[in-house]
Structure 1
């Protein structure tokens, strides 16, 4: 038997084959591309910072000097609010969505399912809620996500924790709240939203409601064999951020402006203290009323934040406003309609009831202690 001699031209096994080394020219081109991307990114951030610093003085100049409105008039206050909030919120939205797009490039549906598969239910609920905050899914993704999670054997309660957290604890809302109201309000929103998602999924999991999942879902169960092998470098992740800005901001800016317009009307024309009577701490029914109003509405987080800002500025209680915001973005009617494709009415009713109860408790709690 002849042994291979070192140095003979014998073809190496495929499993041991090494990728061809990059040429010096290719490495130099990649390095130059990274430097160019970093320079453009630094320049863009500098322009963003300058624009953000000029928003307030330019809005007052436009409202009171160019348009000649009186700062004490209702129209003047409304127009000034709109001219200030519109560019401010849109600039914040661009920066936030860009950053979130980069973060999201590290998370895919396959990785999310792999992280949740095989976990104990209690641990899985917590992990699912945390992943719901950072992964790029909303109510429109409810059906494909539900099917994908079922395929790999993730428990129903864990799946529902994810489906509650993904739209409710919205990262855009979180960072906008941080920028507009400070870290305390943002932290309250984050902690309470996660608590609702974890508790809702855990309770629904204990109720053993799998029989209310549409039969065709389990009939089509099979382990997914899709493997995402995308490898992104620095430039690729920056491109993902830019792509997210084009996609998200391009779709939501009309909702943002509509929300700011509503907020401007509230700011200028709703008398001080009027909302305090309807949405204040003393009115116990204000929290369920806010949830009842919020559920049929359809808005995204960026569009509802300016309304929240205006409501708080007019004396509405924080707990009531948080309950309203959570019901709009976390328990919307369109999501319920979409979920009907995979869930039967008893499970949907239990899902909505438990999440709504959690939102009510959050509203009453914050009205009582703050």
Structure 2
């Protein structure tokens, strides 16, 4: 009977683990239509906590996000180091090929400087017969063409080596910048961890505080980040249609010679975004003198984005949205998270899609409206 009881206990344990695992995964399998509602209902409530606890949760969330940033930067560093090592090996091979090409080109130059090629030309002129002259001329042209190929090959090898050296320098600079960034992020995390440990230790109930921190971090990791990325993705898709919307608005674009002015109100932008059907009605843009504030809320899930539109000329002229601040459920996320979302999702638009050769010069914000100055760049 003992083996049977042992098998029964193991079976019950496995069943319990399966049920717990299924319960853990359940929020990830909610249908698209109900995902936000289901996610919001599971959001840890921080409406009634004191400022010290709120700051503690914010630091904990920031530390977790910075850990992810350190992992991303570390992976980027490994890729850059591999690229640097590969470039070094390619440069060694390139240098050998260049030395060989240089030796051949040197022999060609010596032949010209010593008059060897002039002697061939004189021999051509002294040929007694026309047929002999034509035959010798073909031979002479072969030598000259071969000389040209050697010199051209040397120039190409030299240019390739310069390109490799420049690429190696860029990769080296990138590695240095990555190293600095990695060090800074590790210092930030260490300071945050120290503050967190000190605040938890001085709290009235460290166990409950740590549990609340873990719940908030898990909620962000499993649900919040997914929903925020969904918002950014919806915005990016809608902004792809924004140039077509501007062309359809009768008074949005004013023309004065080679100068163009786009005036868009926050009401027009919000109406455009909601007409796209990708964002909830609660998601609203607000224009101020300081920039743009975007608010979105579904149930207990709240998102605030502070940013601005700026003119960017590289790699192409664009009106790019810069994220200055990202607040999730009252907790400000670190700048690295805002930058990652900004890099991943393009929330800007391109004047050239409105009118060919149109280039943005400036963006001005005021209460309730945004004005963009452009010009034709032919």
TM-score, structure 1 normalization: 0.21
Higher percent of residues as strand:
2
Higher percent of residues as helix:
1
TM-score, structure 2 normalization: 0.20
Q: Which has the larger radius of gyration?
A: 2
